[in-house]
Chain A
């Protein structure tokens, strides 16, 4: 990175450290923070969408749809999270490949499951065997995001379902009295008002989601945990210009600090958002704000 970094062996102290911390691999490490934040930024709205769909399904007047929503909320919440993460990634992958197999290779006569193997025709492989490396990475990350969204969607569904029920009934009745259809009531009255009730639950969920991001590592994404293990391990002088002992404890200490800071920032932002949303609402929080003003 810097001009004086050409011969690291001759450096020591801060100069050495500044060179060490700017190697190509460290740049990858820093970028992986971006990856995690990006995945978080994609996952959160997706999970919210799944949650909204789940909550709407659970409120539906159609019985099968309602059961589907309720079962979705119940099942995902009663088993350890990580089991779902590990399960869904393989299950989704196999599900997608199986569907493609059925549509793309209709004249394939062998069973898909042969003993311990899962065999689909070459055309049905996802991504295709000859696809470039980045396609594989994107696909892997996509599966991870979908898995996260499925699991967190169930939790979000539960929160939104509760929030929708918390909107005062009188508000909805008034809207009905004005002659609004069910859809109009939902869009103009229910949804705008439910957020204030949903926010405590959703902010809790956000905190949990932040703390779930290291599990991306288990799903095969090259995230910060991956790089911290990679960079922290003992490096012998034979393979690198920057030999050092086992430094993983420092790297993981840094990750710990990163998460603590992230949590703190989120707390501050969410409490501001909450103050904003409660403004003028007929809740205890809104009342307290009115009195303070």
Chain B
């Protein structure tokens, strides 16, 4: 079977299109590249959507946490502590079983027991909590002069937030937020090894990589391929976030701009 044929068969296997049966023997390098790459679609899907939605919730949570009103502060603090203080792996398990028992009572929630929705919700909450902590830290370190200047110009309420507080917060938080984004993409690999099942073997990149590693009993091919894909993904994320960082800091002289520094962490 030629490589083009393999790509045609398996490129969208993770979404359920193409050849139904996974290769069972005589694994070629092309098959491994194609299937693991096909799985990356899920990693990108989870990462991008959770990041976009998480950004909005994180801003709200950070403002809540910085609020002087306990009604707003306490829930935000608890939310952040809950999701930052426990392992994501356990959160996936817990959420899966929680959604399962909920869906027996409320049939409309049954979509949440499948990974595309349920795991996305968990990742969304998780990245919101981590980003909220970063944004909160940035809010705390906004230079006093900036807010005083905003007051002096007669800005208040929404326009003060929109024109001064928020842009400055983003500017300060951006290098750390870039790391959070990378970290989130890495965390998407946990989805299918936790509670969420890969229905009809539609899994993410790690799912297929471990499939090959189990079948061939040779970890030295699929995992480096997976690692390669992730390094490329990481580079793309860094490039995008660097572009945004330049845009955020475009009013500053070039040597005063804070550079995005890649400081990855692991497991959350």
Number of interface residues of B (CB under 8 A): 43
Chain A's nearest CB lies how many Å from the CB of B266? 4
Chain A's nearest CB lies how many Å from the CB of B56? 25
Q: What B residues does A110 contact at CB under 8 A?
A: none
Q: Are B189 and A83 in contact (CB-based, < 8 A)? A: yes
Q: What A residues does B210 contact at CB under 8 A?
A: 86
Per the bound structure, the CA–CA distance linking A113 and B216 in Å amounts to 10
Q: Are B86 and A80 in contact (CB-based, < 8 A)? A: no
Q: CB within 8 Å of B: which of A95-119?
A: 113, 116-118
Q: What A residues does B227 contact at CB under 8 A?
A: 79, 83
Interface string of A140-172 (1 = CB under 8 A from B): 000000000001000100000000000000000
Binds B, one of A126-134, A185-193, A235-243, A255-263: A255-263
Chain B's nearest CB lies how many Å from the CB of A151? 7
Q: Are B231 and A79 in contact (CB-based, < 8 A)? A: yes
Does any Cβ of A come within 8 Å of B198's Cβ?
no
Given A113-B218, A155-B266, A211-B267, A90–B213 Cβ distance below 8 Å?
Answer: yes
Per the bound structure, the CA–CA distance linking A136 and B249 in Å amounts to 57
Per the bound structure, the CA–CA distance linking A233 and B152 in Å amounts to 63
Does any Cβ of A come within 8 Å of B265's Cβ?
yes
Q: Are A83 and B101 in contact (CB-based, < 8 A)? A: no
Chain B's nearest CB lies how many Å from the CB of A15? 25
Q: What B residues does A90 contact at CB under 8 A?
A: 213, 217, 219
Residue of B nearest to A259 (CB): B86
Q: What A residues does B190 contact at CB under 8 A?
A: 82
Q: Are A81 and B266 in contact (CB-based, < 8 A)? A: yes
Q: What B residues does A213 contact at CB under 8 A?
A: 87
Per the bound structure, the CA–CA distance linking A255 and B206 in Å amounts to 25
Does any Cβ of B come within 8 Å of A276's Cβ?
no
Q: What B residues does A228 contact at CB under 8 A?
A: 93
Q: Are A116 and B217 in contact (CB-based, < 8 A)? A: yes
Q: CB within 8 Å of A: which of B209-268?
A: 209-210, 213, 215-220, 223, 226-227, 230-231, 234, 264-268
Q: CB within 8 Å of B: which of A167-203?
A: none
Does any Cβ of B come within 8 Å of A273's Cβ?
no
Q: What B residues does A125 contact at CB under 8 A?
A: none
Chain A's nearest CB lies how many Å from the CB of B70? 20
Q: CB within 8 Å of B: which of A207-225?
A: 208, 210-215, 218, 225
Interface residues on A, range: 35 or more
Q: CB within 8 Å of A: which of B79-103?
A: 81-82, 85-91, 93-94, 97-98, 100-101
Q: What B residues does A256 contact at CB under 8 A?
A: 86, 90-91, 94
Q: What B residues does A249 contact at CB under 8 A?
A: 94, 97-98, 100-101
Residue of B nearest to A251 (CB): B97
Q: A263 contacts which of B85, B88, B100, B234 (Cβ < 8 Å)?
A: B85
Q: A264 contacts which of B85, B89, B98, B193 (Cβ < 8 Å)?
A: B85
Q: Are A246 and B101 in contact (CB-based, < 8 A)? A: yes
Chain A's nearest CB lies how many Å from the CB of B257? 23
Per the bound structure, the CA–CA distance linking A80 and B209 in Å amounts to 13
Q: Are B231 and A208 in contact (CB-based, < 8 A)? A: no
Q: Are A83 and B89 in contact (CB-based, < 8 A)? A: no
Q: What B residues does A151 contact at CB under 8 A?
A: 266
Q: What A residues does B267 contact at CB under 8 A?
A: 81-82, 208, 211-212, 215
A-B contact pairs, 16 of them (CB 8 A): A79-B186, A79-B227, A79-B231, A81-B186, A82-B189, A82-B193, A83-B189, A83-B223, A94-B219, A155-B265, A212-B266, A246-B100, A256-B86, A256-B91, A260-B85, A263-B86
Known: A78-B234, A91-B220, A208-B268. 20 other contacts (CB 8 A): A79-B186, A79-B226, A79-B231, A80-B186, A83-B223, A90-B217, A116-B25, A118-B217, A211-B268, A214-B87, A215-B89, A215-B267, A232-B97, A246-B97, A248-B97, A252-B97, A253-B94, A256-B94, A260-B82, A264-B85
User: Which B residues fall within an 8 A CB radius of A?
Assistant: 25, 27, 81-82, 85-91, 93-94, 97-98, 100-101, 186-187, 189-190, 193, 206, 209-210, 213, 215-220, 223, 226-227, 230-231, 234, 264-268
User: Which A residues fall within an 8 A CB radius of B?
Assistant: 77-83, 86-87, 90-91, 94, 113, 116-118, 151, 155, 204, 208, 210-215, 218, 225, 228-229, 232, 246, 248-249, 252-253, 255-256, 259-260, 263-264
Task: List 9 tightest A-B contacts by C-beta distance, closest first.
Answer: A81-B266, A80-B186, A249-B97, A252-B94, A211-B87, A263-B85, A212-B267, A87-B223, A90-B219
